[in-house]
Chain A
Amino acid sequence: MYNFDYVRPSSVSDAAQALSNNTDASLVAGGHTLIPTLKQRLAQPSALIDISQLAELKGIRSDGGNIVIGAATTHAEVAGSADVKAAIPALAELANGIGDRQVRHRGTIGGSVANNDPSADYPAALLGLGASVVTNRGRYDADSFFTGLFSTALHPGEIITAVHFPIPDKAGYAKFEQRASRYCLVSVFVAQKSGGIFSSGETRVAVSGAGQNGVFRVAEMEQALQGNFSPSGVSGIKVSSANLMNDMHGAADYRAALITAMAERAVGAASA
């Protein structure tokens, strides 16, 4: 690890100020993605601005049809939240399946979403539920937020403050782990909601772990589920392997098959 300054701001606006004062500074929340990178000397930030303790970024609340989760909320807090378990059990389950106990007690939703690792869990939930990402400067739909591998619509210096998840009628999540890292080799989040809060259609299917450009939706499955929300609705649908990742942990054709399998399971597991 190279040397860096450590800054602990007292508010989001302080943090934003600190970021603009320090060229090459980086936010740190749980540190569970950033610190390993620093240890390997793959990054050399001038300063780390620690937002993990900011009260305005923490906590979970239910807010008229939405579950609002502060950016610095840990995976364990999401997994254990009575509000989340009651409103979107699939989201609590997803959080409970991230990494191990230590990771879940440090890693945060804001860090995960900002990082947009193509194998991470949360992006599937955000896209699958049609969530929105709120920052200190504005608000993004999940559909426009995740822009590619490890890249998002965030501008330099922009800080995620919360994620708003619309409460669906039903949602389900199924993850097939890459066995070494236990990140997603393929994971699928499905959600259905009547009333059309979702920007397109009432059923969403989002896939993480597999796409060459990160998390993506499967329109054909969404349409099929619209009429028949059951595992058989998606079992015949195969995603083309053309844009899927192809590496030693899983060839593209295998990942394509797993998308179908995980979609079936996510639908099967979907609960209100």
Chain B
Amino acid sequence: MTAQGIGAAVKRREDFRFIKGDGKYTDDINLPNQTYCYFLRSPVAHAAIRNIDISAAQSAPGVVAVFTGADVDASGAGGVPCGWLVTSRDGNPMKEPKHPILAVGKVRHVGDPVVAVIAETLEQARNASELVQMDLDELPAVVNMKSALQGGSSVHEEAADNLCFDWELGDQAATDAALAGAAHVTKLDLVNNRLIPNAMEPRVAIGQYAPGTEDYTLYTTSQNPHVIRLLMGAFVLSIPEHKLRVYAPDVGGGFGSKIYHYAEEALVTWASKHIRRPVKWTSDRSEAFMSDAHGRDHLSHVEMAFDADNRIIALKCETLANMGAYLSTFAPCIPTWLHGTLLAGQYVTPAIYTNVKAVFTNTVPVDAYRGAGRPEATYILERTISKAAQELGVDQAELRRKNFIQPNQFPYQTPVAVVYDTGDYEPALNKAMELADYAAFEQRRAEAKSRGKLRGIGVASYIEACGIAPSSLVGALGARAGLYEAATVRVNPTGSVSVLTGSHSHGQGHETTFAQVVADKLGIDIGNVDIVHGDTDKIPFGMGTYGSRSIAVGGSALVNALDKVIEKGKKIAAHLLEASADDIEFANGAYTVKGTDKSKAFGDIALTAYVPHQYPIETLEPGLEETAFYDPKNFTYPAGTYICEVEIDPQTGSTQIVSFSAADDFGNVINPMIVEGQVHGGVVQGVGQALMENAVYDDNGQLLTGSYMDYTMPRADDVPSFKVATLAGTPCTHNPLGVKGCGEAGAIGAPPAVINAIVDALKEYGIDHIDMPATPEKIWRAINAQPRMAAE
């Protein structure tokens, strides 16, 4: 390890510009002659559109154009596509109703865009939008998933019963048999509350059309510009890819919500051709609440069976997953292939069966949000095993330990399709218990009790599947795209390096970590490495950043490209040093003839490649630039144990997290400081889900939590100083860096740790479960509805 190489806690290079306000975000881009778009959105959840009168708006001051769904339809544009096909257990494909760019015929959720008003200024566009007459015939709103499936109002004609798909995984007969013969069965109904992503930067899109060349450019806040180019170019606007550039510059957080292709991106691009001027749209925060895809929103019933020796023998889980009003880009895969496949967790569970029904409702579409399916699965598993421990009268940590997959069982084939390549779960459990001082907890509980407070401790041992994933596998599971990653290493003549990566950084710190990999491999200074991302005109075709895939997949592509550079350099060095290429070694930035002191610095080789005066020109091309596409062989499987300790004020029901310990196995680590930061951020989001965040719709489908006055975000004073340990762990066995990914772990492991701690604190009241978010009122209500069990 060098001071800048793999394993070094290098400070984030990009922060210099972010902290100084020199970042360049999409909204910082202003094009000559640009117009402004304001979307008039549906004020109601469900209605037939009788008429839209735009005439007054069209003649309002400054208005350039006003478009409705009929205009978009007439141009032949397609709907917003879905990127993943899920097949129901009866063999039928999921219902996939059209998602128009602007509503046609019906509006299907509050915030559904209906009219696009384009004007010289945003104020003029907004003023004109107030002149649009929308004549809507309100229909009963479909809000609650259970009643949605019982018929009545339908969100889409194509799915009269509001069922999108009915999917299953695992062996139902074996699972039922094991449940029937079990010594103990723990049952639980769980809510995975709906979350609103709230990236710090709201979405922005600018469409630009160049009539001379018929080229389009879309500037957008995206986690994956090539995915947007593919989806919008091929499926929505029929723009050939060589005529469409998608550029996502600095992006202020995504958490999944900026993966998807959104209607606004398509509309501004489409409109820029119609009016022959750039069209800019910037979401305000209120719009973000009702138009960014939401996360989670599952209802699950789970049954976990144990034998007489407290070993898990089966798990059965039935889930209703809310899709919202339309299928967002990856929505169908979240509750299925990213959820059902994780239900083995860290445990040997011989039989697992899960059934998932996906439901259309008159709410904002739901898609991946930090963790995407895996937090939901982990919550199911980890809540249930702690409840089982309480019922069986055993320690929650020890029940986990007893059921862990053992190190000698890897690679481990789970009963839910995936194969874990490597893992070792006890060290993380032990480390978390040590950090949390688990052994002395009962003393702390007693001390708290003397102050009138209820203390509880909660354990959660998570596993996640990261680095999505082998293209052949995801293709078989319904993905409509490959999931490799690409990297180009462009060595410049003077020896500096530009990396063009398909991964996208929107908070992760790639400009630092990817540069560390380059510095480490080539032995050059990190200051001589630039990481270029986000622009389809510059970077090779790549799939972007989500699912903690950047270092595991994008980093692997980078390593392979670097290896190609090093190999080519060997041939150049061999020529200069008059040796055989087989005798050249590369280390510490220099090519050396084995066993001699004859050597050439990497910079000399780079210069020779571009100034090939002395060069093996018959057998080798000049230049030093290599590209690699890396398609992983498997997911990676980070795992760890989190322990949360809470103190509850029984009088008000409010919970304070007094301690939070995290022990993670992320395989090899490139930058431990950034990894720790990712754990911190993830845990805070997990705490947010567990204690406060919740998107609430009323019975009419109005979003009641449409601003920060009503939607509770976690804040710094809601969490303690974390105790985080990143273990040496078990390096991934199938990628060149041995890395697994760390971006989502915190959000996956934290919610069950927090809820388990709360339930533990409340057990003296006979409380065995509390739903997320565990608000003070919910806890107060639970305490007051139950008779006190223990004598004071």
Residues of A within 8 A of B (CB): 1, 40-41, 176, 179-181, 248-251, 254, 257-258, 261
Contact = CB atoms under 8 A, between A and B. Distances in A.
A179 B779 CA distance: 15
Interface stretch (B62-70, B208-216, B365-373, B703-711): B703-711
B651 A254 contact: no
Given A179-B775, A248-B696, A248-B704, A254 B781 contact: yes
Nearest to A254: B777
Contacts of B654: 176
Contacts of A254: 777, 780-781
5 contacts: A40-B286, A179-B692, A180-B705, A181-B708, A250-B777
Contacts of B713: 180
Contact of B777 (A1, A41, A251, A261): A251
Interface string B707-719: 0111111000000
A257 B651 CA distance: 8
B370 to A, nearest CB: 20
Contacts, number: 38
Contact of A179 (B651, B696, B704, B712): B712
Given A40-B286, A176-B652, A257 B710 contact: no
Contacts of B784: 257
Contacts of A257: 651-652, 780, 784
A131 to B, nearest CB: 27
Given A176-B654, A180-B705, 15 more contacts: A1-B123, A176-B652, A176-B776, A179-B692, A179-B775, A180-B708, A180-B709, A180-B712, A180-B713, A248-B704, A248-B705, A248-B710, A251-B777, A257-B651, A257-B784
B710 A249 contact: yes
Contacts of B126: 41
For this complex, into which size category does the number of interface residues on chain B fall?
20 to 34
Contacts of A248: 696, 704-705, 710
Given A179-B775, A248-B696, A248-B704, A261 B651 contact: yes
Contacts of A40: 286
B779 to A, nearest CB: 10
Contact of A181 (B652, B704, B710, B776): B710
Interface string B637-668: 00000000000000110100000000000000
Q: Which 3 A-B pairs have the closest CB atoms?
A: A180-B712, A181-B709, A179-B712
Nearest to B653: A254
A101 to B, nearest CB: 13
A251 B784 CA distance: 14
Interface string B776-792: 11001100100000000
A257 B708 CA distance: 25
Nearest to B775: A179
A236 to B, nearest CB: 13
Interface string B266-309: 00000000000000000000100000000000000000000000
A250 B126 CA distance: 35
B626 to A, nearest CB: 50
Contact of A261 (B652, B708, B709, B710): B652
Interface string B746-777: 00000000000000000000000000000111
Contacts of B704: 248
Interface string B114-150: 0000000001001000000000000000000000000
Nearest to A183: B709
A40 B780 CA distance: 35
Interface string B90-128: 000000000000000000000000000000000100100
A1 B127 CA distance: 10
A36 to B, nearest CB: 9
A258 B781 CA distance: 12
B246 to A, nearest CB: 31
Nearest to A264: B651
Contacts of A180: 692, 705, 708-713
Contacts of B711: 180
A257 B776 CA distance: 12
A254 B651 CA distance: 10
Contacts of A261: 651-652
Nearest to A257: B780
A249 B692 CA distance: 11
Contacts of B780: 254, 257
A181 B711 CA distance: 8
A187 to B, nearest CB: 12
Interface centre among B696, B776, B781 (most CB of A within 10 A): B776
A116 B784 CA distance: 33
Interface centre among A176, A180, A250, A261 (most CB of B within 10 A): A180
A139 B126 CA distance: 43
A176 B653 CA distance: 11
Contact of A258 (B286, B652, B692, B775): B652
A248 B713 CA distance: 16
Contacts of B692: 179-180
A32 to B, nearest CB: 13
Contacts of A41: 126
Contacts of B286: 40
Nearest to A3: B123
Nearest to B649: A261
Nearest to B708: A180
Nearest to B713: A180
Contacts of A250: 777
A173 to B, nearest CB: 16
Nearest to A182: B715
Nearest to B698: A248
Nearest to A100: B715
A46 to B, nearest CB: 16
Nearest to A1: B123
A250 B781 CA distance: 11
